[in-house]
């Protein structure tokens, strides 16, 4: 199971998908115990490029002997308060972490025209490659939204691996890329909950799939715009941010 974190907060986890720094460290300690058991270690990914991931996430990973994959909203880099700078990205890459794209502007890619899609995919990749001086071949889907048209455009733009937010999906080829599902870590995820997901076998994956599909139906019925407003009304961010 591939894990996804968003913002890390030092004092209190104020949003559904932000995680307290102390809990993140406990997650890593728990994952370290897997090394002795032979259970495959999960990939640890971060979405959006929030500065807290650089400030708190990367040092904790390095102390625990892990590397992460950081998916960056390229157009926010050095432009938006609270998000990483180009120097931060270079520092992460030097420390052995992988940098991937999370689009240029965090637009939902399924709602983009062909030209907007090309802009989101190519501009973000070119920016990150210029910044890092190395190839960028992975991308995670803003808001978790994807379809086959988006995957084909990702392949065309030079990406090889695409990450979405479907926890039940095992990595496999689709439309010219490898598509991999991930599980979004929540502020309520304790170490026991994390281990149940990391060790998830067939039955639990079916349960995760059912939960994900219920949420997708609600989102479809409400419409993307209304769904995002619903989240904002609740004082939180849309899922997948």
Is the torsion defined by CA of 138, 57, 240, 72 positive or negative? negative
Closest approach of Zn ion to the CB of residue 35, in Å: 30
Q: How many residues does the chain have?
A: 241
Name which of 42 and 240 has its Cβ closer to Zn ion. 240
- Whether the CB-CB separation of 219 and 227 falls below 8 Å is answered with yes
Which ranges constitute the DSSP H helices of 95-201?
114-118, 124-132, 148-156, 191-198
Name which of 43 and 47 has its Cβ closer to Zn ion. 47
Closest approach of Zn ion to the CB of residue 106, in Å: 6
Distance, CA of 220 to CA of 202 (rounded, Å)? 27
Name which of 22 and 231 has its Cβ closer to Zn ion. 231
Q: How would you classify residue 109: left for phi > 0, otherwise alpha for psi between -120 and 50, otherwise beta?
A: alpha
- For Zn ion, the binding residues (CB under 5 A) are 47-48, 142, 241
Name which of 64 and 230 has its Cβ closer to Zn ion. 230
Closest approach of Zn ion to the CB of residue 53, in Å: 12
Name which of 13 and 41 has its Cβ closer to Zn ion. 13
For the record, the structure tokens of 231 come out as 């989240």
Closest approach of Zn ion to the CB of residue 199, in Å: 26
Closest approach of Zn ion to the CB of residue 33, in Å: 30
Q: How would you classify residue 15: left for phi > 0, otherwise alpha for psi between -120 and 50, otherwise beta?
A: beta
Place of tokens 């708190």: 56
């Amino acid at each position: 199971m591939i894990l996804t974190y968003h913002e890390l907060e030092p004092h209190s986890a104020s949003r559904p998908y932000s995680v307290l720094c102390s809990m993140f460290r406990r997650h890593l300690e728990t994952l370290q115990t897997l090394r002795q058991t032979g259970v495959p270690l999960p990939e640890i990914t971060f979405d959006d490029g929030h500065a807290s991931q650089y400030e708190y996430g990367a040092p904790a990973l390095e102390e625990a002997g892990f590397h992460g994959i950081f998916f960056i909203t390229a157009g926010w880099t050095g432009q938006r308060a609270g998000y990483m700078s180009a120097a931060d990205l270079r520092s992460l890459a030097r420390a052995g972490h992988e940098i991937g794209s999370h689009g240029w502007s965090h637009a939902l890619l399924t709602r983009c025209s062909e030209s907007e899609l090309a802009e989101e995919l190519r501009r973000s990749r070119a920016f990150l490659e210029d910044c890092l001086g190395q190839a960028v071949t992975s991308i995670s889907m803003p808001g978790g939204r994807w379809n086959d048209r988006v995957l084909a455009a990702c392949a065309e733009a030079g990406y090889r691996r695409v990450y979405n937010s479907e926890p039940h999906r095992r990595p496999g080829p689709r439309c010219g890329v490898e598509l991999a599902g991930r599980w979004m870590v929540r502020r309520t995820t304790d170490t026991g909950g994390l281990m149940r997901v990391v060790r998830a076998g067939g039955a639990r994956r079916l349960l995760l799939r059912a939960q994900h599909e219920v949420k997708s139906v609600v989102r479809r019925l409400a419409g993307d715009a209304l769904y995002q407003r619903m989240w904002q009304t609740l004082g939180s961010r849309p899922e997948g941010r």
